[in-house]
Amino acid sequence: MLSKNKINFSLIHAHFLDNGFVGAHLKELYEKPLVVTDHGSDVYYWPFKDNWCNALARFVIAEANQIITVSKFNAEKLLSLGVPSNKLHVIPNGYDGRIFKPIPAVRAREKLGLPLNKKILLSIGNLVDKNTFFT
Protein backbone atom coordinates (compact mmCIF):
# COMPACT_ATOMS: atom_id res chain seq x y z
CA MET A 1 0.00 0.00 0.00
CA LEU A 2 2.77 2.45 0.88
CA SER A 3 4.66 1.78 -2.36
CA LYS A 4 1.49 1.72 -4.46
CA ASN A 5 0.39 5.11 -3.13
CA LYS A 6 3.93 6.51 -3.18
CA ILE A 7 3.72 7.58 0.45
CA ASN A 8 7.01 9.05 1.62
CA PHE A 9 7.94 8.65 5.28
CA SER A 10 11.06 9.09 7.40
CA LEU A 11 10.77 6.34 9.98
CA ILE A 12 8.69 3.50 11.33
CA HIS A 13 7.28 3.95 14.84
CA ALA A 14 5.94 0.80 16.50
CA HIS A 15 4.06 0.93 19.80
CA PHE A 16 4.73 -2.01 22.16
CA LEU A 17 7.61 -4.45 21.80
CA ASP A 18 5.49 -7.21 20.29
CA ASN A 19 4.35 -4.87 17.49
CA GLY A 20 8.01 -4.06 16.96
CA PHE A 21 8.32 -7.40 15.16
CA VAL A 22 6.21 -6.01 12.30
CA GLY A 23 8.14 -2.74 12.55
CA ALA A 24 11.42 -4.64 12.16
CA HIS A 25 10.12 -6.30 9.00
CA LEU A 26 9.01 -2.92 7.61
CA LYS A 27 12.39 -1.43 8.53
CA GLU A 28 14.10 -4.01 6.36
CA LEU A 29 11.54 -3.75 3.55
CA TYR A 30 11.59 0.06 3.29
CA GLU A 31 15.10 0.70 4.62
CA LYS A 32 13.87 3.20 7.22
CA PRO A 33 14.90 3.59 10.87
CA LEU A 34 12.73 1.90 13.50
CA VAL A 35 11.60 3.54 16.75
CA VAL A 36 9.76 1.36 19.27
CA THR A 37 7.79 2.83 22.17
CA ASP A 38 7.22 0.62 25.21
CA HIS A 39 4.18 1.44 27.31
CA GLY A 40 4.63 -1.02 30.18
CA SER A 41 2.84 -4.36 29.96
CA ASP A 42 4.93 -5.32 26.97
CA VAL A 43 8.03 -5.09 29.16
CA TYR A 44 6.71 -6.55 32.44
CA TYR A 45 5.33 -9.85 31.16
CA TRP A 46 5.56 -10.49 27.44
CA PRO A 47 9.36 -10.98 27.14
CA PHE A 48 9.29 -13.37 30.12
CA LYS A 49 6.24 -15.39 29.04
CA ASP A 50 8.32 -18.06 27.32
CA ASN A 51 11.55 -18.52 25.37
CA TRP A 52 9.88 -17.60 22.05
CA CYS A 53 8.58 -14.25 23.38
CA ASN A 54 11.94 -13.53 24.99
CA ALA A 55 13.77 -14.21 21.72
CA LEU A 56 11.29 -12.05 19.82
CA ALA A 57 11.71 -9.20 22.32
CA ARG A 58 15.49 -9.39 22.01
CA PHE A 59 15.19 -9.41 18.21
CA VAL A 60 13.05 -6.25 18.27
CA ILE A 61 15.47 -4.60 20.70
CA ALA A 62 18.38 -5.41 18.40
CA GLU A 63 16.55 -4.14 15.30
CA ALA A 64 15.22 -0.91 16.83
CA ASN A 65 17.33 2.16 16.15
CA GLN A 66 15.85 3.90 19.20
CA ILE A 67 13.55 2.80 22.01
CA ILE A 68 11.27 5.14 23.95
CA THR A 69 9.71 4.23 27.27
CA VAL A 70 7.34 6.11 29.56
CA SER A 71 9.07 5.64 32.93
CA LYS A 72 12.40 5.04 34.66
CA PHE A 73 10.99 1.75 36.00
CA ASN A 74 10.32 0.56 32.45
CA ALA A 75 13.79 1.75 31.41
CA GLU A 76 15.37 -0.52 34.05
CA LYS A 77 13.38 -3.49 32.71
CA LEU A 78 14.49 -2.69 29.16
CA LEU A 79 18.12 -2.38 30.23
CA SER A 80 17.82 -5.83 31.86
CA LEU A 81 16.61 -7.16 28.49
CA GLY A 82 19.75 -5.86 26.82
CA VAL A 83 18.72 -2.47 25.47
CA PRO A 84 21.87 -0.35 25.17
CA SER A 85 21.51 2.81 27.26
CA ASN A 86 22.53 4.99 24.30
CA LYS A 87 19.38 4.05 22.38
CA LEU A 88 16.94 4.19 25.32
CA HIS A 89 14.97 7.38 26.03
CA VAL A 90 12.50 8.03 28.86
CA ILE A 91 9.65 10.32 27.80
CA PRO A 92 6.92 10.30 30.49
CA ASN A 93 3.29 10.54 29.52
CA GLY A 94 2.19 14.10 30.08
CA TYR A 95 -0.78 16.36 30.38
CA ASP A 96 -1.60 19.94 29.46
CA GLY A 97 -1.54 22.01 32.66
CA ARG A 98 -3.42 24.79 30.88
CA ILE A 99 -6.43 22.48 30.50
CA PHE A 100 -6.28 20.18 33.53
CA LYS A 101 -6.20 22.03 36.84
CA PRO A 102 -6.77 20.79 40.39
CA ILE A 103 -10.03 21.70 42.08
CA PRO A 104 -10.91 21.50 45.80
CA ALA A 105 -11.63 17.94 46.97
CA VAL A 106 -15.13 18.76 48.25
CA ARG A 107 -16.11 20.30 44.92
CA ALA A 108 -14.70 17.30 43.02
CA ARG A 109 -16.62 14.85 45.22
CA GLU A 110 -19.84 16.82 44.80
CA LYS A 111 -19.36 17.02 41.05
CA LEU A 112 -18.76 13.24 40.83
CA GLY A 113 -21.49 12.32 43.33
CA LEU A 114 -19.00 10.79 45.77
CA PRO A 115 -19.59 10.76 49.54
CA LEU A 116 -17.93 13.59 51.45
CA ASN A 117 -17.27 11.57 54.63
CA LYS A 118 -15.69 8.40 53.20
CA LYS A 119 -12.17 7.58 52.08
CA ILE A 120 -11.80 7.32 48.31
CA LEU A 121 -8.99 5.39 46.67
CA LEU A 122 -8.16 6.25 43.07
CA SER A 123 -5.45 4.59 41.10
CA ILE A 124 -4.70 5.01 37.44
CA GLY A 125 -2.62 2.34 35.78
CA ASN A 126 -2.51 -1.13 34.31
CA LEU A 127 -3.85 -4.01 36.35
CA VAL A 128 -0.45 -5.64 36.77
CA ASP A 129 1.26 -7.07 39.86
CA LYS A 130 3.91 -4.35 40.07
CA ASN A 131 1.11 -1.82 40.71
CA THR A 132 -0.04 -3.97 43.70
CA PHE A 133 -3.74 -3.83 42.84
CA PHE A 134 -4.10 -7.45 43.94
CA THR A 135 -2.56 -7.36 47.42
Q: What per-residue confidence (pLDDT) applies to 26? A: 94
- 6-64 pLDDT, tens digit per residue, is 778 899 999 998 889 999 999 999 999 999 999 887 887 777 788 888 899 899 999 99
Please write the tens of the pLDDT for every residue from 66-121: 999 999 999 999 999 899 999 999 998 887 888 888 899 999 999 999 999 998 87
Contacts 24+ apart (CB under 8 A), 54-60: 56/18, 56/21, 57/17, 57/18, 57/81, 58/82, 59/21, 59/24, 60/14, 60/17, 60/18, 60/20, 60/21, 60/23, 60/24, 60/36
Residue ranges and CATH numbers for the domains of the chain are 12-131 (3.40.50.2000)
